[in-house]
Amino acid sequence: MKKKYDYQYICILLFAVLTGLFISSCKKFVDIPNPPDKIISAEVFTDDAKASSAVTGIYGSLINGSTGFANGLSTVFAGLSSSELNRFNPSVNEQEFLESQLSPSNSTVQTFWTNAYQHIYYTNACLEGLQQSNGVSVSVRKQLMAECRFVRAFCYFYLVNLFGDIPLVLSTDYHLNSVLPRTPTPDIYRQVIADLKEAKDALPVSYITTEKVRPNKWAAASLLARVYLYQRDWQKAEAEADEVINSGLYSPLPSLQAVFLKNSKEAIWQLLPKNGFVPEVTQIIPMASTPRVILPSSVMQSFVSGDQRRTRWVDSITYQAVRYYYPGKYKATTASNSEYYMVLRLAEQYLIRAEARIYLNNLIGTISDINIIRSRAGLPGLSASLTQPELITALENERKTELFAEWGHRWLDLKRTDRATAVLGPVRPGWQPTDVLYPIPLNEILTNPALTQNAGY
């Protein structure tokens, strides 16, 4: 009998040893180190260098990340929406843009939305991180926070113009953000203006690095000028544009060939493409025999004879004996590192000031601003006798020819000037006035019951 107890004793002892081993070693064992290819949030904002990386990563992602509103979509798809551009072999997705028959499940519409909000999240995360940070120096913190506000305003500007009322997300808290309803457009603009004003105040006049690929004070002012213009706040629009033009940093306007080069004199803010050429061109410039994006005859006809933009900024290809024109503002299709992606440039500021001045009854000022643009294009100046309505038309045409195939300017212009139905209605069989807004992507409505759909979808 004694032996039996021995066995039991041994067993109990062994079980105890096992349990002991488990308790002592397991906690440690499953406590693995953080992955070496990642960095933890708390470590990001501990010094100037890492905090700066977090902010510059946003620019990198804007221009070099997956296709989004800031690396081609706005130019091409908003271009298709306004009939400024046509597609040689349109996909179903593109066809919906071309015919203003967008379905809420159109994947490009979804990309516009997702991509912009993704970058808004990045800016919010950086703002929160910088706010709480102790390790980042005061000056760097000020600079970086201003840049984040600038980029956030930039993203919201496109979202609100494409979709109308949209959720206003200002934090990283998904509990809160996932149920946010749409905020009225004026409130979005209020936030955009607030962000831009803060950015303008905080950002230095000089660029933080040698190139113009991170925003300075004038970048913020330029975007602010555009926002005021869209708000029809003519005085403020003129004032902001005026400040930028008078900064002297960007004038005189360079020749047409030099506009889209890197560090172009005219550039206020450019994005630096990693691959050595602007990613957008892969959707525009044909690589061989067949055209891709083409400029319809309506656009070609808007160039009057002698307009050098018609020759400098438009290229063509002949396919099966037919000549097709396509935007040629950017030329490089391989890693030449000669061109950066132009986001804000001085010519637009002249046009903003010119437009504001029409409504401020400074017609002389308008004409002189427009003529600066025209003279670079090799065109004669406008007659000083033009009336206000004539100038409105002249300005629209000037914007059309100066800013074509850039960031969907034409689409946004048609919308903000309430000209969309007049221009597109006759050429699009199924056109409805509600088509000026893209549909809220279906996936968003399904995942957030607080979202409503735009009228007409």
How near is the Cβ of 160 to other proteins at its closest, in Å? 13
Query: Residue 26, interface with other proteins (CB under 8 A)?
Result: yes
Residue 429 in the binding site for other proteins (CB under 8 A): yes
**Binders of other proteins in range 38-57 (CB under 8 A):** 38-42, 44, 50, 52-57
- Cα dist from 392 to 1, 5, 397, whole Å: 111, 105, 9
**Shorter beta-carbon distance to other proteins: residue 235 or 298:** 298
The 10 Å Cβ neighbour count of residue 119 is 22
Distance CA 441, CA 231 (A): 26
Quick one: 89 or 206, whose CB is closer to other proteins?
A: 89
Q: What angle do CA 263, 269, 275 make, to 5 degrees?
A: 65
DSSP 268-285: EEEE--TTSS-TTHHHHS
5 contacts other proteins (rule: CB under 8 A): no
Q: What is the DSSP string of 49-107?
A: HHHHHHHHHHHHHHHHSSS-IIIIIHHHHHHHHTTSSEESS--HHHHHHHTT---TT-H
Q: Count the residues of the shown chain that bind other proteins, applying the rule CB under 8 A.
A: 102
Query: Where in 109-168 is the site for other proteins (CB under 8 A)?
Result: 110, 113-114, 117-118, 120-122, 124-125, 166-167
Judged by CB under 8 A, does residue 170 bind other proteins?
A: no
Q: Count of residues for the chain?
A: 457
Cα–Cα distance between 231 and 347 in angstroms, integer? Answer: 20
Q: Which stretch binds other proteins (CB under 8 A): 77-85, 90-98, 195-203, 374-382?
A: 90-98
Closer residue to other proteins (CB): 96 or 240: 96
Q: Is the peptide bond before 286 cis (omega within 30 degrees of 0)?
A: no
Q: Which tokens hold the place of 261?
A: 């080069």
In the complex with other proteins, which residue's Cβ is closer, 134 or 246?
134
Whether residue 189 contacts residue 416, with contact meaning beta carbons closer than 8 Å, is answered with: no
| Residue 58: alpha-carbon gap to chain centroid | 12
Question: Which of 288, 305, 389, 426: binder of other proteins (CB under 8 A)?
Answer: 288
Q: How far is the CB of 227 from other proteins (least distance, A)?
A: 21
From residue 325 to residue 364, the character string flagging contacts with other proteins as x (rule: CB under 8 A) and all else as - is ---------xx-----------------------------
Look up residue 169 and give its DSSP letter: -
Q: How far is the CB of 389 from other proteins (least distance, A)?
A: 34
280 is a site residue for other proteins (CB under 8 A): no
Nearest residue (CB) to other proteins, 54 versus 225: 54
